[in-house]
Amino acid sequence: MRTLTIPKEGSFTSAVRHERLSARIGVWLGICFGLAFVTGLISHWYYLGDVPFFPPTRPVWGYRLTQGTHVISGTAAIPLLLVKLWSVYPKLFAEIPFGQGRRLVLNLLERASIAVLVAASIFQLVTGLANSAQWYPWAFSFRSTHYAVAWIAIGALLVHIAVKLPIIKAAYAEPLPEGPEDVPADPAADPAADPESDPEFDPATTPSRRAVLRTALAASAVVVLATAGSTVPFLRKISVLGVRTGEGPQGIPINKSAAAAKVTELARDPGYRLVLAGPEGETTLDMADLAAMTQRTHELPIACVEGWSASGEWTGVRLSELLDLMGAPAEATIRLVSLQPSGAFRSSELPASFARDPLTMLALGLNGQALDIDHGFPCRLIAPNRPGVFQTKWIGRIEVIA
Protein backbone atom coordinates (compact mmCIF):
# COMPACT_ATOMS: atom_id res chain seq x y z
CA MET A 1 0.00 0.00 0.00
CA ARG A 2 1.27 3.42 -0.90
CA THR A 3 1.64 5.93 1.85
CA LEU A 4 0.10 9.34 1.48
CA THR A 5 2.70 12.04 0.94
CA ILE A 6 2.51 15.72 0.22
CA PRO A 7 2.43 15.97 -3.57
CA LYS A 8 4.98 17.90 -5.61
CA GLU A 9 4.12 20.07 -8.59
CA GLY A 10 5.24 17.23 -10.88
CA SER A 11 2.86 14.78 -9.20
CA PHE A 12 0.02 16.31 -11.18
CA THR A 13 0.22 14.70 -14.56
CA SER A 14 -2.85 15.97 -16.37
CA ALA A 15 -1.68 17.58 -19.59
CA VAL A 16 -4.88 19.60 -19.68
CA ARG A 17 -3.60 21.94 -17.00
CA HIS A 18 -1.61 24.46 -18.93
CA GLU A 19 -0.97 28.15 -18.66
CA ARG A 20 -2.64 28.70 -22.02
CA LEU A 21 -5.86 27.42 -20.45
CA SER A 22 -5.28 29.23 -17.14
CA ALA A 23 -4.62 32.51 -18.94
CA ARG A 24 -7.81 32.27 -20.97
CA ILE A 25 -10.02 31.43 -18.01
CA GLY A 26 -8.20 34.19 -16.16
CA VAL A 27 -9.20 36.76 -18.75
CA TRP A 28 -12.89 35.81 -18.48
CA LEU A 29 -12.62 35.83 -14.71
CA GLY A 30 -10.90 39.21 -14.88
CA ILE A 31 -13.79 40.62 -16.93
CA CYS A 32 -16.29 39.39 -14.31
CA PHE A 33 -14.23 40.80 -11.45
CA GLY A 34 -13.78 44.11 -13.25
CA LEU A 35 -17.52 44.45 -13.85
CA ALA A 36 -18.32 43.49 -10.26
CA PHE A 37 -15.76 45.97 -8.93
CA VAL A 38 -16.92 48.96 -10.98
CA THR A 39 -20.62 48.32 -10.34
CA GLY A 40 -19.79 47.70 -6.67
CA LEU A 41 -18.15 51.12 -6.44
CA ILE A 42 -21.24 52.68 -8.01
CA SER A 43 -23.42 50.99 -5.40
CA HIS A 44 -21.09 52.10 -2.63
CA TRP A 45 -21.36 55.66 -3.92
CA TYR A 46 -25.09 55.69 -3.09
CA TYR A 47 -24.39 54.58 0.46
CA LEU A 48 -21.76 57.24 1.16
CA GLY A 49 -24.25 60.03 1.82
CA ASP A 50 -21.84 62.88 2.34
CA VAL A 51 -20.17 63.22 -1.04
CA PRO A 52 -19.18 66.28 -3.09
CA PHE A 53 -21.43 65.15 -5.92
CA PHE A 54 -24.30 62.70 -5.98
CA PRO A 55 -25.27 59.97 -8.42
CA PRO A 56 -27.41 61.28 -11.27
CA THR A 57 -31.20 60.86 -11.29
CA ARG A 58 -31.16 59.46 -14.84
CA PRO A 59 -31.42 56.95 -16.30
CA VAL A 60 -34.21 55.90 -13.94
CA TRP A 61 -33.08 52.27 -14.31
CA GLY A 62 -29.40 53.05 -13.65
CA TYR A 63 -29.08 51.26 -10.32
CA ARG A 64 -31.20 48.41 -11.59
CA LEU A 65 -28.68 47.88 -14.38
CA THR A 66 -25.50 48.34 -12.34
CA GLN A 67 -26.55 46.27 -9.33
CA GLY A 68 -28.05 43.55 -11.53
CA THR A 69 -24.73 43.45 -13.40
CA HIS A 70 -22.87 43.33 -10.08
CA VAL A 71 -24.65 40.22 -8.84
CA ILE A 72 -24.76 38.51 -12.26
CA SER A 73 -21.04 39.00 -12.92
CA GLY A 74 -20.19 37.75 -9.42
CA THR A 75 -22.36 34.67 -9.92
CA ALA A 76 -20.82 34.04 -13.35
CA ALA A 77 -17.36 34.16 -11.77
CA ILE A 78 -18.00 31.23 -9.41
CA PRO A 79 -17.57 28.35 -11.94
CA LEU A 80 -14.73 30.25 -13.62
CA LEU A 81 -12.85 30.68 -10.35
CA LEU A 82 -13.26 27.00 -9.45
CA VAL A 83 -11.93 25.81 -12.83
CA LYS A 84 -9.15 28.38 -12.73
CA LEU A 85 -8.05 27.23 -9.26
CA TRP A 86 -8.14 23.61 -10.47
CA SER A 87 -5.92 24.52 -13.43
CA VAL A 88 -3.25 26.09 -11.22
CA TYR A 89 -3.59 23.88 -8.13
CA PRO A 90 -0.25 22.03 -8.73
CA LYS A 91 1.55 25.38 -8.35
CA LEU A 92 0.62 25.28 -4.68
CA PHE A 93 3.07 22.38 -4.37
CA ALA A 94 5.83 23.86 -6.54
CA GLU A 95 9.29 23.73 -5.05
CA ILE A 96 10.35 26.73 -3.01
CA PRO A 97 13.90 27.79 -4.00
CA PHE A 98 15.37 27.81 -0.49
CA GLY A 99 18.89 29.17 -0.17
CA GLN A 100 18.72 31.14 -3.39
CA GLY A 101 18.47 34.67 -1.97
CA ARG A 102 16.78 36.83 -4.58
CA ARG A 103 14.78 34.01 -6.19
CA LEU A 104 13.52 32.91 -2.79
CA VAL A 105 12.34 36.42 -1.92
CA LEU A 106 10.58 36.83 -5.27
CA ASN A 107 9.01 33.39 -4.96
CA LEU A 108 7.70 34.08 -1.48
CA LEU A 109 6.41 37.51 -2.52
CA GLU A 110 4.52 36.01 -5.42
CA ARG A 111 3.12 33.25 -3.22
CA ALA A 112 1.95 35.86 -0.72
CA SER A 113 0.26 37.91 -3.46
CA ILE A 114 -1.46 34.78 -4.78
CA ALA A 115 -2.60 33.83 -1.28
CA VAL A 116 -4.15 37.28 -0.87
CA LEU A 117 -5.75 37.10 -4.33
CA VAL A 118 -7.24 33.64 -3.78
CA ALA A 119 -8.45 34.40 -0.26
CA ALA A 120 -10.02 37.71 -1.29
CA SER A 121 -11.59 36.23 -4.44
CA ILE A 122 -13.22 33.29 -2.66
CA PHE A 123 -14.34 35.61 0.14
CA GLN A 124 -15.99 38.09 -2.23
CA LEU A 125 -17.84 35.43 -4.20
CA VAL A 126 -18.97 33.49 -1.12
CA THR A 127 -20.15 36.55 0.84
CA GLY A 128 -21.74 38.09 -2.26
CA LEU A 129 -23.57 34.90 -3.18
CA ALA A 130 -24.88 34.43 0.36
CA ASN A 131 -25.92 38.08 0.59
CA SER A 132 -27.86 37.86 -2.68
CA ALA A 133 -29.93 35.13 -0.97
CA GLN A 134 -30.15 37.24 2.22
CA TRP A 135 -28.09 34.73 4.15
CA TYR A 136 -25.70 36.21 6.70
CA PRO A 137 -23.85 33.36 8.42
CA TRP A 138 -21.06 35.70 9.62
CA ALA A 139 -20.84 38.26 12.40
CA PHE A 140 -18.97 41.05 10.57
CA SER A 141 -20.71 43.95 8.89
CA PHE A 142 -21.23 42.89 5.27
CA ARG A 143 -21.05 46.20 3.44
CA SER A 144 -17.83 47.67 4.87
CA THR A 145 -16.09 44.27 4.66
CA HIS A 146 -17.21 43.42 1.12
CA TYR A 147 -16.08 46.92 0.10
CA ALA A 148 -12.63 46.73 1.72
CA VAL A 149 -11.94 43.21 0.44
CA ALA A 150 -13.03 44.29 -3.06
CA TRP A 151 -10.13 46.73 -3.19
CA ILE A 152 -7.77 44.05 -1.86
CA ALA A 153 -9.00 41.54 -4.46
CA ILE A 154 -8.70 43.95 -7.39
CA GLY A 155 -5.31 45.21 -6.16
CA ALA A 156 -3.98 41.65 -5.85
CA LEU A 157 -5.47 40.84 -9.27
CA LEU A 158 -3.58 43.73 -10.89
CA VAL A 159 -0.34 42.64 -9.20
CA HIS A 160 -1.01 39.11 -10.50
CA ILE A 161 -1.59 40.43 -14.04
CA ALA A 162 1.63 42.47 -13.84
CA VAL A 163 3.59 39.36 -12.80
CA LYS A 164 1.99 37.08 -15.40
CA LEU A 165 1.72 39.49 -18.33
CA PRO A 166 4.41 37.78 -20.47
CA ILE A 167 2.70 34.40 -19.93
CA ILE A 168 -0.72 35.87 -20.78
CA LYS A 169 0.68 37.43 -23.95
CA ALA A 170 2.39 34.18 -24.94
CA ALA A 171 -0.80 32.23 -24.23
CA TYR A 172 -2.78 34.45 -26.56
CA ALA A 173 -0.10 34.42 -29.26
CA GLU A 174 -1.20 30.89 -30.09
CA PRO A 175 -4.65 29.32 -30.31
CA LEU A 176 -5.90 26.87 -27.75
CA PRO A 177 -5.77 23.53 -29.55
CA GLU A 178 -8.24 20.68 -29.35
CA GLY A 179 -5.69 18.40 -27.69
CA PRO A 180 -2.36 18.56 -25.91
CA GLU A 181 -0.57 18.22 -29.23
CA ASP A 182 0.67 21.79 -28.83
CA VAL A 183 4.05 20.74 -27.42
CA PRO A 184 6.56 23.26 -28.76
CA ALA A 185 9.03 22.03 -31.35
CA ASP A 186 11.79 22.62 -28.86
CA PRO A 187 10.51 21.68 -25.40
CA ALA A 188 13.55 23.28 -23.80
CA ALA A 189 12.34 26.65 -25.08
CA ASP A 190 9.19 26.33 -23.01
CA PRO A 191 9.89 24.69 -19.67
CA ALA A 192 6.21 24.97 -18.75
CA ALA A 193 5.19 22.63 -21.55
CA ASP A 194 3.86 19.34 -20.31
CA PRO A 195 6.58 16.75 -20.18
CA GLU A 196 4.12 13.89 -20.35
CA SER A 197 2.09 15.11 -23.28
CA ASP A 198 0.89 12.05 -25.01
CA PRO A 199 1.23 12.01 -28.79
CA GLU A 200 -1.43 9.29 -28.77
CA PHE A 201 -3.85 11.78 -27.24
CA ASP A 202 -7.36 10.36 -27.06
CA PRO A 203 -10.13 12.94 -26.70
CA ALA A 204 -12.42 10.32 -25.13
CA THR A 205 -10.31 9.84 -22.03
CA THR A 206 -8.67 13.28 -21.75
CA PRO A 207 -10.57 16.48 -22.36
CA SER A 208 -8.81 19.02 -24.52
CA ARG A 209 -7.90 22.36 -22.98
CA ARG A 210 -10.30 24.00 -25.36
CA ALA A 211 -13.08 21.70 -24.16
CA VAL A 212 -12.29 22.59 -20.54
CA LEU A 213 -12.44 26.32 -21.33
CA ARG A 214 -15.76 25.87 -23.13
CA THR A 215 -17.08 23.83 -20.22
CA ALA A 216 -16.13 26.55 -17.72
CA LEU A 217 -17.86 29.18 -19.86
CA ALA A 218 -20.90 26.93 -20.29
CA ALA A 219 -21.10 26.41 -16.51
CA SER A 220 -20.93 30.16 -16.09
CA ALA A 221 -23.77 30.65 -18.57
CA VAL A 222 -25.85 27.99 -16.82
CA VAL A 223 -25.58 29.62 -13.39
CA VAL A 224 -26.38 33.04 -14.87
CA LEU A 225 -29.48 31.79 -16.71
CA ALA A 226 -30.55 29.86 -13.61
CA THR A 227 -30.41 32.94 -11.34
CA ALA A 228 -30.60 36.19 -13.33
CA GLY A 229 -34.41 36.17 -13.55
CA SER A 230 -34.48 37.95 -10.19
CA THR A 231 -33.62 41.10 -12.10
CA VAL A 232 -33.99 40.33 -15.84
CA PRO A 233 -37.76 40.10 -16.49
CA PHE A 234 -37.62 37.82 -19.56
CA LEU A 235 -35.56 35.25 -17.62
CA ARG A 236 -38.05 34.98 -14.75
CA LYS A 237 -39.55 31.73 -15.99
CA ILE A 238 -36.15 30.23 -16.79
CA SER A 239 -34.31 31.16 -13.59
CA VAL A 240 -35.44 28.24 -11.48
CA LEU A 241 -32.68 28.95 -8.93
CA GLY A 242 -33.40 32.69 -8.70
CA VAL A 243 -33.82 34.06 -5.19
CA ARG A 244 -37.13 35.67 -6.17
CA THR A 245 -39.80 34.93 -8.75
CA GLY A 246 -40.55 38.64 -8.99
CA GLU A 247 -44.03 38.05 -7.55
CA GLY A 248 -45.28 39.75 -4.44
CA PRO A 249 -48.07 41.91 -3.10
CA GLN A 250 -49.30 44.08 -6.00
CA GLY A 251 -46.84 42.34 -8.32
CA ILE A 252 -43.65 43.54 -6.62
CA PRO A 253 -41.42 41.61 -4.17
CA ILE A 254 -40.45 43.08 -0.81
CA ASN A 255 -37.26 43.13 1.21
CA LYS A 256 -38.49 44.17 4.64
CA SER A 257 -42.03 43.40 5.70
CA ALA A 258 -44.10 45.63 7.98
CA ALA A 259 -43.96 42.87 10.59
CA ALA A 260 -40.15 42.77 10.46
CA ALA A 261 -40.01 46.55 10.80
CA LYS A 262 -42.52 46.36 13.73
CA VAL A 263 -44.48 49.12 12.08
CA THR A 264 -47.87 47.49 11.31
CA GLU A 265 -49.89 49.17 14.09
CA LEU A 266 -48.33 52.59 13.63
CA ALA A 267 -48.88 52.47 9.88
CA ARG A 268 -52.50 51.34 10.20
CA ASP A 269 -53.35 53.89 12.89
CA PRO A 270 -56.46 55.78 11.66
CA GLY A 271 -55.05 58.88 13.35
CA TYR A 272 -52.01 58.84 11.06
CA ARG A 273 -50.66 62.26 10.16
CA LEU A 274 -47.72 63.05 7.90
CA VAL A 275 -45.55 65.63 9.66
CA LEU A 276 -43.92 68.25 7.45
CA ALA A 277 -41.08 70.01 9.28
CA GLY A 278 -40.27 73.06 7.21
CA PRO A 279 -38.23 76.17 8.02
CA GLU A 280 -41.33 77.90 9.43
CA GLY A 281 -42.33 75.06 11.74
CA GLU A 282 -44.33 71.87 11.54
CA THR A 283 -47.58 71.20 9.75
CA THR A 284 -49.44 67.91 9.33
CA LEU A 285 -51.44 66.30 6.53
CA ASP A 286 -53.83 63.41 6.87
CA MET A 287 -54.57 60.84 4.18
CA ALA A 288 -57.49 62.88 2.82
CA ASP A 289 -55.20 65.91 2.42
CA LEU A 290 -52.66 63.81 0.52
CA ALA A 291 -55.36 62.27 -1.65
CA ALA A 292 -56.69 65.76 -2.46
CA MET A 293 -53.36 66.82 -3.96
CA THR A 294 -52.58 66.28 -7.66
CA GLN A 295 -51.99 62.53 -8.16
CA ARG A 296 -49.43 61.42 -10.70
CA THR A 297 -48.51 57.98 -11.99
CA HIS A 298 -45.02 56.99 -13.11
CA GLU A 299 -43.42 53.70 -13.96
CA LEU A 300 -40.28 53.33 -11.86
CA PRO A 301 -38.16 50.34 -10.88
CA ILE A 302 -37.40 49.26 -7.35
CA ALA A 303 -33.88 47.84 -7.39
CA CYS A 304 -32.22 46.30 -4.35
CA VAL A 305 -28.60 45.83 -3.38
CA GLU A 306 -29.14 42.04 -3.29
CA GLY A 307 -29.50 42.22 -7.06
CA TRP A 308 -33.25 41.82 -7.54
CA SER A 309 -35.40 44.45 -9.18
CA ALA A 310 -38.93 44.95 -10.48
CA SER A 311 -40.79 47.70 -12.23
CA GLY A 312 -44.08 49.14 -10.95
CA GLU A 313 -46.64 51.83 -11.70
CA TRP A 314 -46.52 54.11 -8.70
CA THR A 315 -49.23 56.69 -8.02
CA GLY A 316 -48.88 59.54 -5.56
CA VAL A 317 -47.92 63.11 -4.82
CA ARG A 318 -44.91 64.75 -6.40
CA LEU A 319 -42.43 65.36 -3.58
CA SER A 320 -41.43 68.82 -4.81
CA GLU A 321 -45.07 69.97 -4.47
CA LEU A 322 -45.06 68.87 -0.84
CA LEU A 323 -41.76 70.66 -0.33
CA ASP A 324 -43.24 73.87 -1.79
CA LEU A 325 -46.13 73.47 0.66
CA MET A 326 -43.57 73.32 3.48
CA GLY A 327 -41.71 76.34 2.17
CA ALA A 328 -38.52 74.32 1.72
CA PRO A 329 -35.74 76.14 -0.16
CA ALA A 330 -35.12 74.77 -3.67
CA GLU A 331 -31.56 73.66 -2.88
CA ALA A 332 -32.42 72.05 0.48
CA THR A 333 -31.46 68.49 1.40
CA ILE A 334 -34.50 66.59 2.62
CA ARG A 335 -34.78 63.83 5.21
CA LEU A 336 -37.57 61.28 5.12
CA VAL A 337 -38.26 59.49 8.38
CA SER A 338 -40.12 56.20 8.61
CA LEU A 339 -42.67 55.30 11.28
CA GLN A 340 -40.59 52.21 12.01
CA PRO A 341 -39.17 52.53 15.53
CA SER A 342 -35.64 51.32 14.71
CA GLY A 343 -33.41 50.03 11.97
CA ALA A 344 -30.38 51.35 10.11
CA PHE A 345 -32.47 52.55 7.17
CA ARG A 346 -35.45 54.04 9.01
CA SER A 347 -34.62 57.42 7.51
CA SER A 348 -32.95 58.52 4.30
CA GLU A 349 -31.64 61.77 2.92
CA LEU A 350 -32.41 63.17 -0.48
CA PRO A 351 -30.09 65.71 -2.08
CA ALA A 352 -31.97 68.52 -3.83
CA SER A 353 -31.41 66.97 -7.26
CA PHE A 354 -33.46 63.91 -6.18
CA ALA A 355 -35.91 65.76 -3.93
CA ARG A 356 -36.89 68.19 -6.69
CA ASP A 357 -36.90 65.66 -9.52
CA PRO A 358 -40.33 65.64 -11.20
CA LEU A 359 -40.42 61.81 -10.96
CA THR A 360 -39.67 61.67 -7.23
CA MET A 361 -42.87 61.09 -5.33
CA LEU A 362 -44.58 60.09 -2.18
CA ALA A 363 -46.36 57.03 -3.48
CA LEU A 364 -49.82 56.23 -2.13
CA GLY A 365 -50.62 53.49 -4.62
CA LEU A 366 -48.97 50.75 -6.63
CA ASN A 367 -50.21 49.12 -9.82
CA GLY A 368 -53.69 50.59 -9.45
CA GLN A 369 -54.28 49.77 -5.77
CA ALA A 370 -53.69 51.54 -2.46
CA LEU A 371 -50.17 50.77 -1.31
CA ASP A 372 -49.84 47.40 0.44
CA ILE A 373 -48.67 47.59 4.07
CA ASP A 374 -45.50 45.70 3.08
CA HIS A 375 -44.78 48.24 0.34
CA GLY A 376 -44.95 51.09 2.84
CA PHE A 377 -48.60 52.06 3.46
CA PRO A 378 -49.67 54.80 4.10
CA CYS A 379 -46.97 56.35 1.88
CA ARG A 380 -43.45 55.69 0.72
CA LEU A 381 -40.72 57.38 -1.23
CA ILE A 382 -40.13 56.31 -4.82
CA ALA A 383 -37.39 58.14 -6.69
CA PRO A 384 -35.62 57.40 -9.98
CA ASN A 385 -32.23 55.64 -10.03
CA ARG A 386 -32.00 54.98 -6.30
CA PRO A 387 -31.25 51.77 -4.31
CA GLY A 388 -34.36 50.19 -2.80
CA VAL A 389 -33.11 50.47 0.76
CA PHE A 390 -33.22 54.28 0.45
CA GLN A 391 -36.78 54.27 -0.92
CA THR A 392 -38.07 54.85 2.59
CA LYS A 393 -41.34 53.11 3.47
CA TRP A 394 -44.07 53.99 6.04
CA ILE A 395 -43.08 57.67 5.97
CA GLY A 396 -44.18 59.64 9.02
CA ARG A 397 -42.11 62.76 8.73
CA ILE A 398 -40.43 64.93 6.10
CA GLU A 399 -37.74 67.34 7.30
CA VAL A 400 -35.73 70.10 5.71
CA ILE A 401 -32.10 69.60 6.73
CA ALA A 402 -30.38 72.57 5.15
* Near another protein in 249-278, by CB under 8 A: 249, 253-257, 259-260
Nearest approach in angstroms of CB 382 to another protein is 17
Q: Is 144 in the site for another protein (CB under 8 A)?
A: yes
Q: Which is nearer to another protein, 137 or 271 (CB)?
A: 137
Nearest approach in angstroms of CB 240 to another protein is 3
Q: Which is nearer to another protein, 44 or 296 (CB)?
A: 44
Per CB under 8 A, contacts with another protein among 346-385 are none
Nearest approach in angstroms of CB 203 to another protein is 6
Per CB under 8 A, contacts with another protein among 50-79 are 75, 78-79
Q: Is 130 in the site for another protein (CB under 8 A)?
A: yes
Q: Are 256 and 393 in contact (CB under 8 A)?
A: yes
Q: Which is nearer to another protein, 95 or 200 (CB)?
A: 200
Q: Which of 39, 29, 121 is nearest to 77 (CA)?
A: 29
Per CB under 8 A, contacts with another protein among 166-195 are 172, 174-178, 181-182
Q: Is 207 in the site for another protein (CB under 8 A)?
A: yes
Q: Is 138 in the site for another protein (CB under 8 A)?
A: yes
Nearest approach in angstroms of CB 223 to another protein is 5
- Return the range that interacts with another protein (CB under 8 A); candidates 158-166, 285-293, 330-338, 355-363: 158-166
Nearest approach in angstroms of CB 176 to another protein is 4
Tell me which of 8, 34, 100, 136 binds another protein, using CB under 8 A: 136
Nearest approach in angstroms of CB 133 to another protein is 4
Q: Which is nearer to another protein, 129 or 389 (CB)?
A: 129
Q: Is 9 in the site for another protein (CB under 8 A)?
A: no
Q: Is 287 in the site for another protein (CB under 8 A)?
A: no
Q: Which is nearer to another protein, 79 or 376 (CB)?
A: 79
Nearest approach in angstroms of CB 308 to another protein is 9
Per CB under 8 A, contacts with another protein among 233-252 are 240-245, 247-249
Tell me which of 227, 311, 340, 367 binds another protein, using CB under 8 A: 227
- Mapping DSSP onto H, E and C, the string for the chain reads CCCCCCCCHHHCCCCCCCHHHHHHHHHHHHHHHHHHHHHHHHHHHHHHCCCCCCCCCCCCCHHHHHHHHHHHHHHHHHHHHHHHHHHHHHHHHCCCCCCCHHHHHHHHHHHHHHHHHHHHHHHHHHHHHHHHCCCCCCCCCHHHHHHHHHHHHHHHHHHHHHHHHHHHHHHHHCCCCCCCCCCCCCHHHCCCCCCCCCCCCCCCCCCCHHHHHHHHHHHHHHHHHHHHHHCCHHHCCCCCCCCCCCCCHHHCCCCCCCCCCCCHHHHHCCCCCEEEEECCEEEEECHHHHHHCCEEEEEEEEECCCCCEEEEEEEEEEHHHHHHHHCCCCCCCEEEEECCCCCCCCEEEECHHHHCCCCCEEEEEECCEECCHHHCCCCEEECCCCEHHHCCCCEEEEEECC
